[in-house]
Amino acid sequence: MQTNNKKIKVLIVDDSAVVRQTLSSIFQSDPDIEVIDTAVDPYFAAQKIQTEIPDVITLDIEMPRMDGLTFLKKIMSQHPIPVVIISSLTAEGSLTAIKALEYGAVEIITKPQLGTKAFFEESKIRLCDVIKAAAQANLRKKIISYSPIDVKPKLSADAVLAKVNSNSMIKTTDTVISVGASTGGTEALSVFLQALPADTHGIVVVQHMPELFTKSFANRLNELCKITVKEAENGDTVFPGRALIAPGNKHMLLRRSGARYYVEVKDGPLVNRHRPSVDVLFRSTAQYAGSNAIGIIMTGMGDDGAKGLLEMKESGAKTIAQDEKSCVVFGMPKEAIKLDAADHILPLDKIAPFIIKLK
């Protein structure tokens, strides 16, 4: 929610009249958001920005005259403004989405090829939440609050995995690093994972990200990192030198069979309005790894992962929260810190060195 009476000014850039009209209607229905204008392509958008600078821009990728990625790069190099990509990106186009995030987009929302208007209406809350969060983004790097519209109850990790009070985990020499991130997390994870040596403890990651994009994200990190990075598949083993990233639209849980850690990838209800949910991963890590684990909560809007990190700490795990200055959005780490769930609060570039010293 806004802390003052100033509305968030939004410029909608999309070549579809239906999309422009539908998004305008949705945003205008929120008392904290004002659509100051719409544009059919980046050239018109550039002209409008000269007249009035918006707080947030929504941007399609595939447009005439100039594509959205080119426009995004120009914005970020000349006059950084929070940008939310809203585009019909397919599996083949998921690398484009990753590039958009690297270029500075705050968030990605995929619209279907068919039934776009109905999809937007059903996604009204998320759309408005993303705009509000984007307005708070720290553009030195790169979201989701809540509007009072009729919605389903916000579910906790109990909806996927019941909490176990006993802590009978036997200490072993195997350590698991469990990481949760949201807005700004693609960059944060890239910085963190690239700084780790090839023999780092096994890593499991939940990054709030649309379905289909996580595979491209994992593949791209795999090319950059010393460790192996892959999109998790059900039953994948967690072992040193490997990071498993939860696939979009699926929960990922850490499991254990004897001395072997592995992941379970499964469907389930939204938890904290997310699937995958950081809380689900962290709870399973607390239950199956206990004091053998290290928990890290990174940049992101909302509170997903805060309670889970506390459960990890209570199970004996070492816990870390990214500090405010290095976060794009200091939401998830802030909530974890409020719960006293973090043993250490560190800037992003200090997390990997700290982990290495723990080995």
Query: pLDDT value at position 117?
Result: 81
Distance between CA atoms of residues 224 and 235, nearest Å: 25
Task: Report residue 107 as tokens.
Answer: 């968030």
- Say what the pLDDT of residue 118 is: 83
Is 8-134's fold the same as 162-358's?
Answer: yes
Among 94, 147, 178, 182, the one annotated catalytic = 182
Q: Catalytic site residue 304? A: yes
Range list of β-strands (E), 25-90: 33-39, 56-59, 83-87
Look at residue 53 in the predicted model and tell me its pLDDT. 93
CA–CA distance, 264 with 237 (Å, rounded to integer): 10
pLDDT at 91: 45
What span, in angstroms and rounded, lies between the C-alpha atoms of 235 and 254?
10
Residue pointed to by tokens 């939401």: 331
- Element spanning 310, H or E: helix 306-314
Tens digits of residue pLDDT in 194-232: 999 999 999 999 999 887 789 989 999 999 999 999 999
User: What pLDDT shows up at residue 149?
Assistant: 34
Q: Residue 147 has what pLDDT? A: 35
**End-to-end alpha-carbon separation of the chain, Å?**
42
Domain locations in the chain as residue ranges: 8-134, 162-358
Region 8-134: CATH code: 3.40.50.2300
pLDDT at 104: 86
Please, what is the average pLDDT of the chain? 87
Distance, CA of 26 to CA of 33 (rounded, Å):
9
Per annotation, catalytic residue among 129, 279, 304, 323? 304
Give me the CATH topology for the region 162-358: Rossmann fold (3.40.50)
Report CA torsion sign: 108, 73, 183, 288: positive
Query: Torsions phi, psi of 102, nearest 5?
Result: -65, -35
Torsional class of 276: left (φ above 0), alpha (ψ -120 to 50), beta (otherwise): beta
Mark whether 182 is an active-site residue.
Answer: yes
Q: Which of 208, 216, 277, 303 is the catalytic position? A: 208
Regions of the chain where pLDDT drops below 50? 1-3, 90-91, 141-151, 168
Separation between Cα atoms, residue 216 and residue 278, nearest integer Å: 20
